[in-house]
Amino acid sequence: YSSIYFLRLHEMKKAVAQVARAKWANAPVLDIKKGKLSYVIGTVYMDMRLKPSILDDIVKDEFNLAAPPTAKYFSDDDVIMMEDESGRVKLVGEVIAKAGLVTGIIVGALGMETPAGDFEVVDYCFAG
């Protein structure tokens, strides 16, 4: 799916950047520095521990192992990541945790790098 996500980012980045510039006019873009407010734009990747894996399904089918049904795919242990052409950063904070994001969406995130190297989000935006 990486080529689909790359194309989506390429096509949507300008629209998100326009919204982000209007919303956060005084914050620098893509200049993440510890303790300094900035914003980044990228593709969301949700690392969801409860999400089914096709490889696990194949193994279970091959050996006739039935997986217990899962009531939900999300959990408090999920990790929200953002990636672009330059790399990937973990998004943290209450604001982003409550945003209801899904893998593949293009988002702008305003925040700052934490001492642990994560990006603590204080606000976010979409293309429209």
Domains of the chain: which residue ranges?
1-66+91-125
Mean pLDDT of 67-90: 79
CA-CA distances (angstroms) from residue 48 to 3, 24, 28, 36?
21, 30, 31, 29
Across the range 91-117, mean pLDDT stands at 93
Look at residue 32 in the predicted model and tell me its pLDDT: 74
pLDDT at 77 over 90: no
* Residue 109 exposed, middle or buried by CB count within 10 Å (0-12, 13-18, 19+): buried
Using the predicted structure, report yes or no on whether residue 74 has a pLDDT greater than 70: no
The pLDDT, as a whole number, for residue 61 is: 66
If DSSP codes are grouped into helix, strand and coil, which group holds residue 40?
strand
Average pLDDT over residues 66-80: 71
Contact 50, 76 (CB under 8 A): no
Structural Rg of the chain based on CA atoms: 17
Highest mean pLDDT among 23-37, 68-82, 111-125: 111-125
Instruction: List the end-to-end C-alpha distance of the chain, in Å, as a whole number.
Output: 24
- Exposed (0-12), middle (13-18) or buried (19+): which is 32, by Cβ within 10 Å? middle
Q: What is the pLDDT of residues 5-59, one digit of tens each?
A: 888 899 999 999 999 999 998 887 666 777 789 999 999 998 867 666 666 666 6
Check if the beta carbon of residue 51 is closer than 8 Å to that of residue 79: no
Asked if CATH classification 2.40.50.430 holds for the domain at 1-66+91-125, the reply, yes or no, is yes
